[in-house]
Amino acid sequence: MSAASDLLTARIAAEHASALPDLPTSVIGRDRRLQAIGAFSARGLPINRQENWRYANLHTLHHARFTPAQPQATLEPSALPGEIEGYARYIFVDGRFAPELSHHSPHPALTIFTTGTEDTAQHIAAEQELADNRLALLNEAFATDGARIVAADTAHPTCIEVVFVATAAAQGGASYPRLQVTTQAGTRLGFIERHISLGSEANFINAVVNIEVGRGATVDHYRLQQTGAEATWMDTLSARVATDGTYRLHLANLGGQSARSTQQISLAGERASTVLNTVSVAGRLQVHDVFAVIEHAAAATQSEQRFRGVAAQQARVGFNGKVVVRTDAHGAVSRQSLRGLLAGPQAEVDVRPQLEIYTDEVQCSHGATAGKLDENMLFYLLSRGMEPEMAQLLLKWAFLEDVVAKIDLPALRGQVEHALAGQMDDTAALRELL
Amino acid sequence: MNTLLNIDNLHVAVGDKKVLNGLTLQVPAGEVHAIMGPNGSGKSTLAHVLAGRPGYEITAGTVSYQGTDLLALAPEERARAGLFLGFQYPVEIPGVNNVYLLKAAVNAARKQHGLPEVDAFDFLTLVKEKMQLMQIDESFLSRGVNEGFSGGEKKRNEILQMLILEPKLAVLDETDSGLDIDALKIVANGVNSLRAPERSFVLVTHYQRLLDYIVPDRVHVLVRGRIARSGDRELALELERRGYDWISQEAA
């Protein structure tokens, strides 16, 4: 560990000691909070020299206060992104539930645990044996409110949207989004999770999401990271998929100054499957980094991982996709298609596929590329009379659309496409495509 | 004679390799000229240089198109001025829709000439009509550019684009390669439907077969980067019988 990160780890422990009396024990008990901060302190903050943190921007953490923030602004509902039909929306502001902004009636599948309500949930800073749960431990130690979704209706899909809004400055305090999702056997869940910023403060967000996909259940999880230009967004997601269950994750990583997502998906039961689709678009000095581990722990499990990342200006985009096939996972099928695009001479793209196989009879394929726009494609478009700027934009768009088109909620896909076009600085030129 | 394309003493290198060595060629408006020649003679280089593909160094010579210096124009400017390249290997561009590309191409040329954008409905009607001529399936409309097309479909798509763009000068680079006889007839039919007094074609081809269906006004044989012999369509038939060796030897 470096001296600077040791100091920061110590400062976080001190902040926790003074914040502890005010942290709601009904959300997480005092003992669990102490255990979490103890486990975190023993291991320390991640640093870039550690293998799976090489691409992340961890510097912004040094300017952050880890004590939970007090919500600053009052929000106008009109400032929030458009709702998606059929999805009941619930809103958290700086890690605290905002009932006045949320869907008027409680959803039968949703429990909000907040000050004064009992948290019967288990430990949700899931053990990430393969990835890394250190930041999740910090969430456990400091969390304010949280939500639990339990899909139990086998007759109809459960459709819920949770929006986490950050308003506070990082120097003033952090926000700790916290979600536990459980789907019972044979259920279907559609779940939209957004992270946005309102106002111009440099927020610090440290989220934890834990998902249990039951036997034969299906989860479609749509995650949009659209935090502010100065925000630091840290995220730990873990999912466990039971026999015949399916977990599909769509992540659009757009915002933030520093955005890091650590994901571990365990295919625990036979024929469990997962699809991870990630798009990441970064410009300016943004750093986007995803470390995603898929574990095939049972026979005939299937995984597909797709990544498309574009880095412009001085931005850095990293994707580290690891697949581990355990000894019992006979007949596992795993496919990885990871592609990065450099859209500026000072940009950086790091795409890294990793495969560890401990059994025979598996089909694993992976393709990883990082490069510039295809010269042949570019010339083809120019030879048809297209302006060079437009041709480049169109090819960047097509590169992303390959994965974005897989978002099967048309209204949400439209929102993601508009956000991507905005991020690419040329909404007008792309208007015909939207 | 109204010369549309005038190539004079063109020398082109790729890296250290000289590919065109003093090529001279005039194509009058309304004519179809076939460029034939053995592999490596510089046929495709000529097509690419005319369209402005990067990676070629013009070391000497001039190319004039409609009286202006073609080599001074960027690829997109050449296209908008009415030059069309039919690619030998059309590239697949997943995520860019076929119709979108066609419309963008037409509107780019119209903008150049101060015309308003095409009406979306009229345009689609036109595309469908030309698709019928080229026997291209309706599913084409919703697909990415050349995405998942067979070799023959890609070539037909090139001709479809040409029919819609209505260029002044069409340079078709081995459009016949890899086509079965039915597809060859469809392609030839498309080209012939566009023949007009103000429009010229440069057909780059290795085999005489295409010229059974598209009858050229002139045939030129390219050997080691320059035109070794020119004639009418009889020359193509002679090449079919005798091969290229005798001309190569003559040129040497």
pLDDT tens for each residue of A382-394: 999 999 988 998 8
A70 near A168, Cβ under 8 Å?
A: yes
Identify all chain B residues contacting A390, using CB atoms and an 8 Å cutoff.
104
In angstroms, the CA A114 to CA A147 distance is 8
Of A374, A377, A385, the CB nearest to B105: A385
Identify all chain A residues contacting B84, using CB atoms and an 8 Å cutoff.
383
Identify all chain B residues contacting A382, using CB atoms and an 8 Å cutoff.
52, 74-76, 79
Identify all chain B residues contacting A376, using CB atoms and an 8 Å cutoff.
91
Q: Look up residue A148 and give its two tokens.
A: 């639990």
Say if strands B17-28 and B3-14 run parallel, antiparallel, or are unpaired: antiparallel
Position B23 pLDDT exceeds 80: yes
Of B54, B79, B144, the CB nearest to A384: B79
Position A140 pLDDT exceeds 80: yes
Nearest in space to B93 (alpha carbons), one of B173, B161, B149, B9? B149
pLDDT of residue B112: 87
**Which A residues 360-379 touch B at CB under 8 Å?**
374-377, 379
Any CB–CB contact under 8 A between A388 and chain B? yes
Match 């789907």 to its residue by tokens: A183
- If you write DSSP's letter for every residue of A115-137 in order, what string do you get? TTS-------S---SSS--HHHH
A380 vs B94: CB contact, 8 Å cut-off?
no
Nearest in space to B111 (alpha carbons), one of A425, A387, A397? A387
Position A115 pLDDT exceeds 70: no
User: What mean pLDDT comes out for the span A271-299?
Assistant: 96
Any CB–CB contact under 8 A between B76 and chain A? yes
Measured between CA atoms, the residue of chain B closest to residue A431 is B100
Whole-number percent of chain A with pLDDT over 90: 71
pLDDT digits (tens, 9 = 90+) for B106-115: 998 898 889 9
pLDDT of residue A211: 95
A383 vs B161: CB contact, 8 Å cut-off?
no
Sheet holding A258-267, edge to edge: A110-113, A146-151, A178-183, A204-213, A232-241, A258-267, A287-296, A316-325, A348-357
Q: Which of A384, A399, A404, A424 to mutate to test the interface with B (most CBs of B within 10 A)?
A: A384
Q: Look up residue B124 and give its two tokens.
A: 């689609």
pTM as predicted? 0.85
B75 vs A433: CB contact, 8 Å cut-off?
no
A388 vs B51: CB contact, 8 Å cut-off?
no
DSSP A175: B
How many Cβ atoms sit within 10 Å of the Cβ of residue A105? 7
Of B75, B94, B144, the CB nearest to A379: B75
pLDDT of residue B46: 97
Higher model confidence: residue B6 or residue A77?
Answer: B6
Quick one: pLDDT band at residue A425, thresholds 50, 70, 90?
low
Match 């890394």 to its residue by tokens: A132
Quick one: pLDDT band at residue A124, thresholds 50, 70, 90?
low
Measured between CA atoms, the residue of chain B closest to residue A403 is B95
Any CB–CB contact under 8 A between A397 and chain B? yes
pLDDT of residue A430: 63
In angstroms, the CA B252 to CA A295 distance is 67
Please state the ipTM of this predicted complex.
Answer: 0.96
A382 vs B104: CB contact, 8 Å cut-off?
no
Of A377, A383, A400, the CB nearest to B79: A383
Of B51, B74, B94, the CB nearest to A402: B94
CA distances from A213 to A59, A126, A239, A301 (A): 35, 14, 7, 14
pLDDT digits (tens, 9 = 90+) for A36-74: 999 999 999 999 998 899 999 999 999 899 999 987 667
Q: Which of B85, B93, B143, B159 to mutate to test the interface with A (most CBs of A within 10 A)?
A: B93
Say if strands B68-69 and B57-65 run parallel, antiparallel, or are unpaired: antiparallel
CA distance B172 to chain A (A): 13
Measured between CA atoms, the residue of chain B closest to residue A429 is B104
Identify all chain A residues contacting B85, using CB atoms and an 8 Å cutoff.
383
pLDDT digits (tens, 9 = 90+) for A235-256: 999 999 999 999 999 999 999 9
pLDDT of residue A131: 79
Any CB–CB contact under 8 A between B47 and chain A? no
Higher model confidence: residue A230 or residue A1?
Answer: A230
Tell me how many residue pairs between chain A and chain B have CB atoms under 8 A apart: 76
Exposure string over A7-22, b if 16+ CB within 10 A, otherwise e? ebbeebeebbeebbee
Match 């942290």 to its residue by tokens: A23
Which residues contact residue B156 at a Cβ distance below 8 angstroms, ignoring those fewer than 6 apart? B134, B135, B136, B183, B186, B187, B190
Quick one: pLDDT band at residue A348, thresholds 50, 70, 90?
very high
User: What mean pLDDT comes out for the span A249-274?
Assistant: 97
Measured between CA atoms, the residue of chain A closest to residue B47 is A383
Measured between CA atoms, the residue of chain A closest to residue B76 is A385
Q: Which of A382, A394, A420 to mutate to test the interface with B (most CBs of B within 10 A)?
A: A382
Nearest in space to A416 (alpha carbons), one of A400, A398, A396? A400
Of B87, B91, B95, the CB nearest to A397: B95
B91 vs A398: CB contact, 8 Å cut-off?
no
CA distances from B21 to A129, A300, B14, B58 (A): 66, 62, 12, 10
CA distance A174 to chain B (A): 39
Identify all chain A residues contacting B165, using CB atoms and an 8 Å cutoff.
384-385
Q: Which of A381, A397, A424 to mutate to test the interface with B (most CBs of B within 10 A)?
A: A381
Q: Look up residue A329 and give its two tokens.
A: 């996972």
B104 vs A390: CB contact, 8 Å cut-off?
yes
Nearest in space to B75 (alpha carbons), one of A430, A121, A379? A379
Q: Look up residue A91 and give its two tokens.
A: 């809103």
